[in-house]
Amino acid sequence: MATQYVTCPRCSAQNSSLNTTCMTCGSQLPIAPMPMQQMPNYGGAKPAGADKKILAGVLGIILGGLGIHKFVLGYQQEGVILLSVYLISIVVAFVTCGIGTPLIFVPTVIGIIEGIIYLTKSDEEFVQTYIVNKKPWF
């Protein structure tokens, strides 16, 4: 790792950026330029769409089978698919006198898994994956 240097404004001596005062003349050093960090946000503002992360994640976990979290993210088609699978599962469970009941867990589990995935992503990752790239599943 390359050591960063700060030039003293008074005597022009090179000081390590770790120092706050000049090693040569003892004057206050300007704050070293930070190593370029990826900081797309200013003032801690969340990237657009990040506000949906918590909502979509929680809805996915609680009401995953209904596809509500898909609608929140603007995924109409996927939401309809999840909701349809859920409703069909209920009908199948009813028609088969309960034998088909486990089918209801399929959309529910998908919702829970997706909700957890949303919540474990950083705001930036979430926006990049689901708002920008529109990844339909998981």
For Zn ion, the binding residues (CB under 5 A) are 8, 10-11, 13, 22, 24-25
Burial class (CB in 10 A: 0-12, 13-18, 19+), 101: middle
Which CB atom, from 8 or from 61, has the smaller least distance to Zn ion? Answer: 8
CB atoms < 10 A from the CB of 56, how many?
A: 25
Least distance CB 20 / Zn ion (angstroms): 12
Report how far residue 136's alpha carbon sits from residue 70's, in angstroms, rounded to the nearest whole number: 9
State in angstroms the smallest separation of the CB of 46 from Zn ion.
41
Residues in the chain: 138
CB 89 within 8 A of CB 43: no
Give the whole-angstrom CA distance, residue 33 versus residue 4: 9
- Assess contact for 72 and 59: CB atoms under 8 A: yes
Distance of CA 82 to the CA centre of its chain: 22
Closest separation in Å from C-beta 6 to Zn ion: 10
Which residue, 13 or 112, is less far from Zn ion as judged by CB? 13
Q: Give 6 or 66: the residue with its C-beta nearer to Zn ion.
A: 6
Closest to Zn ion by CB, 11 or 95: 11
Nearer to Zn ion, 19 or 76 (CB): 19
Least Å distance, CB 17 to Zn ion, is: 14
Q: Report the nearest approach of Zn ion to the CB of residue 125 (Å).
A: 44
